[in-house]
Amino acid sequence: MPAENPSSRAAAAAAQRFGAALRAPALAQLDALAALNERSVCRQYRPDPVPEDVVRLLCATALSAPTKSDLQQASIVRVADPAKKAAICSLLPGSPWLAGAPELFVFCADGWRLRRLFARKGVAFPNEHLDAFFNASVDAAIALSAFVSAAELAGLGTCPISQVRDHVERIDALLSLPDWVVPVAGLALGYPEAKEPLSARLSLSATVHTDKYDVDAVERELDAYDARRGKDWSGDKVKQYSRVLRADFGAYVARKRFKLT
Ligand SMILES: Cc1cc2nc3c(=O)[nH]c(=O)nc-3n(C[C@H](O)[C@H](O)[C@H](O)COP(=O)(O)O)c2cc1C
């Protein structure tokens, strides 16, 4: 059971997550910060539908996030058609829990709308290079993150799903994505039946640097982290990434007409 006081909740979650307690000063929205520090992915949902107004508010919150140069290059595709959702679930048999998620979204990097502005003005788009793809992808990732946080604060659970990119051509066709619109990740949403245990992260000494990147701090943390994590995280990650994964994604992105150099 989390402690009642948001300050001690935030401190306790940070201690569990990062191996060192944070001081949680008195802040107006500290209960929200405590909830975000306690977040973990949810892969077990209650069957209750998510009210339409809640879905709309979460989408609005997600798309209120910052957007590079006000270009607004994130799009969310809500998979509401049960047949389309079933088709996506059948592509991901390793994630049987997904079928039990009341809502599924696909967050997309969207370079199509910007190019439409140019086409509508009869102006050639001069920025066909990697940065354009990167900007749209970052916008989509920021919107995804804002959605996750908003859902958490609304008492819902989420799980991002990069596995949609394992079958990206099929999902692209199912969702009729135009050129320059590329899935970044799916997102499952619903009221949690159970959440995963809070997952420890590398300590802030390895991931937050002041004035210069501290490689020694990273090495020290890598020496210590597996013990704190209580498992061979380093070994697991090396094993997981010893297989070649999604090497065809660049070719798909190029077929979507993004330039990658
Ligand atoms: C971009 C992104 C893609 C992810 N893709 C998947 C996925 O395909 N399947 C899955 O079960 N979890 C996926 N996750 C969830 C991560 O596994 C999870 O966030 C991570 O293990 C840390 O756990 P935590 O979020 O509870 O701290 C994804 C998370 C992110 C941010």
Q: Which pLDDT score, from 0 to 100, does residue 257 have?
A: 98
Q: Which of 107, 147, 149, 159 has most ligand 1 atoms within 8 Å of its beta carbon, as the pocket-test mutant?
A: 159
Q: Which pLDDT score, from 0 to 100, does residue 4 have?
A: 75
| pTM tops 0.95 | yes
**CB count, 10 Å around CB of 28?**
7
Report residues whose beta carbon is within 6 angstroms of any ligand 1 atom.
Answer: 40-41, 95, 159-163, 185, 196, 199
pLDDT band for 84, please (50, 70, 90 cuts): very high
Q: Which pLDDT score, from 0 to 100, does residue 24 have?
A: 85
Closest protein CA for atom 30 of ligand 1: 160
Q: Cβ(40)–Cβ(197) under 8 Å?
A: yes
Cα 72 to Cα 111: distance, rounded to the nearest angstrom: 9
pLDDT band for 16, please (50, 70, 90 cuts): very high
Q: Which pLDDT score, from 0 to 100, does residue 197 have?
A: 97
Q: 3-class DSSP state for residue 160?
A: strand
pLDDT per residue as tens digits for the range 140-171: 999 999 999 999 999 999 999 999 999 999 99
Q: Residue 106 pLDDT more than 80?
A: yes
Q: 3-class DSSP state for residue 3?
A: coil
- CATH fold for domain 38-195: NADH Oxidase (3.40.109)
Phi, psi of 34, deg, nearest 5: -60, -45
Q: Is the dihedral of CA 54, 58, 59, 61 positive or negative?
A: positive
pLDDT band for 56, please (50, 70, 90 cuts): very high
Q: Which pLDDT score, from 0 to 100, does residue 173 have?
A: 98
pLDDT band for 114, please (50, 70, 90 cuts): very high
pLDDT band for 65, please (50, 70, 90 cuts): very high
Please name the residue ranges forming H helices in the chain: 6-18, 30-37, 52-62, 82-91, 112-121, 130-153, 168-174, 204-207, 215-229, 233-240, 249-255
pLDDT band for 123, please (50, 70, 90 cuts): very high
Q: In what order do the strands lie in the sheet with 103-110?
A: 74-78, 103-110, 181-190, 157-161
For 171-231, give the secondary structure using H, E and C. Answer: HHHHCCCCCCEEEEEEEEEECEEECCCCCCCCCHHHHCCCCCCCHHHHHHHHHHHHHHHCC
Question: Among residues of the chain, what percentage have pLDDT more than 90?
Answer: 96
Q: Which pLDDT score, from 0 to 100, does residue 22 have?
A: 87
Q: Which pLDDT score, from 0 to 100, does residue 21 have?
A: 80
| Averaged pLDDT, 57-82 | 98
How many Å lie between the centroid of ligand 1 and the Cα of residue 185? Answer: 10
Q: Which pLDDT score, from 0 to 100, does residue 80 have?
A: 98
Domain residue limits, the chain: 38-195, 202-245
Q: Which atom of ligand 1 is nearest to the CA of 163?
A: 8
Q: Which of 162, 198, 245 has most ligand 1 atoms within 8 Å of its beta carbon, as the pocket-test mutant?
A: 162
| Mean pLDDT, all residues of the chain | 96
Q: Which atom of ligand 1 is nearest to the CA of 198?
A: 26
Residue 24: which residues within 8 A CB-CB, separation 6 or more? 6, 7, 8, 10, 11, 14, 30, 33, 34
With 0-12 / 13-18 / 19 or more C-beta atoms within 10 angstroms meaning exposed / middle / buried, residue 150 is buried
